[in-house]
Structure 1
């Protein structure tokens, strides 16, 4: 059975997608990533219900192609979790390769770094993302784990209810969950600033590589800036975060807008787990289930004083 036929129930006609986006009107373009442009739109389901969607159109000039397209379909049709972005359908007509997702009306986490969200709100977003990644590493009812390989704040989507969802699985790998080192790869992929140095240098991909990337995201949230905005050839953002923690200078690293509201115990728990995620030795990095627990504890300390 051809892949196209296997997922026949997810097919959406190109005509319906053109109607939803007003023929890919630039006014409906809400972003652009490694896969191509992303449009917002509204599709009519068989019951006549209108559903807001995000529509990703493959542009091969950005380096991705059929492999990433079908990988995303196969993965998201099998792995379903409230904190993992849901694939609603796809279009494969002619040269067009299009993915249709549930619409995240509040965009992605990177848009809120250094913004006006409360520390409690930011913690809840981090917890949701951590739960999604924990599920991918240890999904229920299967012995296959997903290694995302491109965890970053722009790949953490946020819906109308501030629910966080892990997205963009074009670079992901799937392998046995009962093996410590799932893959030995010849070429490391991901986004500069987030990629685990051990994976980049040794080409050994493990779930701890995702944990490292998530640690970078946690420190981005804490200091209110993207890791890519830190330009120092001698010291990476992750190194700066680790050094600041070891030197007990987290109060100098925290973003000004949350410095006055954060509970000291909440900060202590949060920065400790974020620091552990960035451990140079893979074996010293926590499981994502442990990250979830500590983030939940950090939130409890914050809420208790509110």
Structure 2
């Protein structure tokens, strides 16, 4: 599969001068080795095509140490671009950069660690009620809207339940900013053209919405529709049988209108015509409407009744 190039790459001279402003974020390699017990196997919390992430304690704080590899062609310049990019991101629903290390040819990102792990671990769990799921999706959409509003027109390329991490209060945070790595989330048009756009991430978000709605992974097994949840969910949506692939206990928690808006939104995100897919601000607005329906006509915490024409 082709790798898309991010528009945030910087010129060499700008890279050097910008890095000088990030010296305060450098963390000594020895400190990281001590925090992770020299990158001990038992401290591994995630593995991916770009490297391995470890959990460790540094200055009395539990952090994630993402040790990148150049085995897939990742160069120091790419790493520095990533450091500079992440250092500019400030949003409640996006993982924050704590520091970095480039000693001895290492490329390590030091990031916030989220206590609950990734969202994919809870898709089928009764721990997440319908209310919780809508709340989580709305926060993810807000993070996506923030990124897409960035002047650099950021394309995530790795938006999936496994790259959404949950803190101890179950607040979601977007973690990865990678090239596409999971067929179950990839926009078919990207597969054909190799061109990633904002609409590409909206497609992936639609898959994530169906994961949350159905309580299933993006890759599943069905006799008729194969192993991609997007195909299975669209098939049932078009035939009015979507409830057949939703946990009946979860379905009982759903207000009919909130369920209708949520499922219709997920379906539109997967439209083969990118121009028909909703924008990130539209996604945020419609998920707010889902919240309003589920809350009986008021926005949670506002104490006011919505004037939406859908209520």
Please report the TM-score for the alignment, with normalisation by the length of structure 1.
0.85
Which deviations, in whole Å up to 9, do the C-alpha atoms of 1:256-286 show, x marking residues without a partner? 3412212211111100111110011101000
- Of residues 259, 266, 272 in structure 2, which corresponds to 1:274? 266
> What is the aligned-residue RMSD (CA, Å)?
2.2
What is aligned with 2:99? Answer: 89
- Pair 29,204 (structure 1): closer, same or farther in 2 beyond 3 Å: closer
Q: Is the Cα–Cα contact under 8 Å of residues 83 and 128 in structure 1 kept in the other structure?
A: yes
Rounded to whole Å, the distance in 2 between the matches of 1:233 and 1:33 is: 31
* Equivalent residues in 2 for 1:1-306, closer than 5 Å: 2=16, 4-44=19-59, 50-61=60-71, 64-66=74-76, 68-116=78-126, 117-139=128-150, 143-171=151-179, 189-230=180-221, 235=226, 236-304=228-296
Of 68-77 and 151-160, the range deviating more from structure 2 = 68-77
- Deviation readout 1:241-260 (Å, 9 max, x if unpaired): 12211111121121234122
Q: In the aligned structure 1, how far is the partner of 2:122 from the partner of 2:285?
A: 23
Q: What is the CA-CA distance between 1:302 and the residue it aligns to?
A: 1.9
Deviation sequence 1:169-221 (CA, Å, 0-9, x none):
133xxxxxxxxxxxxxxxxx442110100111123322100000000000011
Distance apart, 1:61 and its partner CA: 4.0
d(CA) in 2 for partners of 1:63, 1:215: 30
Instruction: Using structure 2 for the length normalisation, give the TM-score.
Output: 0.84
Instruction: Structure 2 unaligned segments of length 5 or more: list them.
Output: 1-12, 301-311
Counterparts of 1:241 and 1:274 in 2: how far apart (Å)? 9
Tell me the secondary structure at the aligned position of residue 94 of structure 1: helix
SS at match of 2:216: coil
Give the whole-Å Cα distance in 2 for the aligned partners of 1:166 and 1:83.
Answer: 6
**Aligned residue-pair number:** 281
- Aligned equivalents of 2:66 and 2:224: distance in 1? 34
Tell me how far apart the structure 2 counterparts of residues 201 and 135 of structure 1 sit (CA, whole Å). 28
Which secondary structure does the structure 2 equivalent of 1:146 belong to? coil
Alpha-carbon separation, structure 2, partners of 1:10 and 1:233: 52
Point out the more displaced range, 283-292 or 255-264.
255-264
Please list every run of 5 or more consecutive structure 1 residues that lacks an aligned counterpart in the other structure: 45-49, 172-188
- Check 1:122–1:65 CA distance in 2 against 1; reply closer, same or farther (3 A cut): farther
Separation in 2, partners of 1:168, 1:23: 24
Give the Cα–Cα distance (whole angstroms) in 1 for the partners of residues 22 and 182 of structure 2. 30
Instruction: Report SS of the residue matched to 1:252.
Output: helix
CA distance in 2, matches of 1:138, 1:232: 41
CA-CA distance at 1:158 after TM superposition:
0.9
- Structure-1 separation of matches of 2:294 and 2:87: 37
How far the C-alpha of 1:15 sits from its partner, in A, is: 1.0
User: Residue 19 of structure 2 contacts residue 84 of structure 2 at CA under 8 Å; is this kept in 1?
Assistant: no
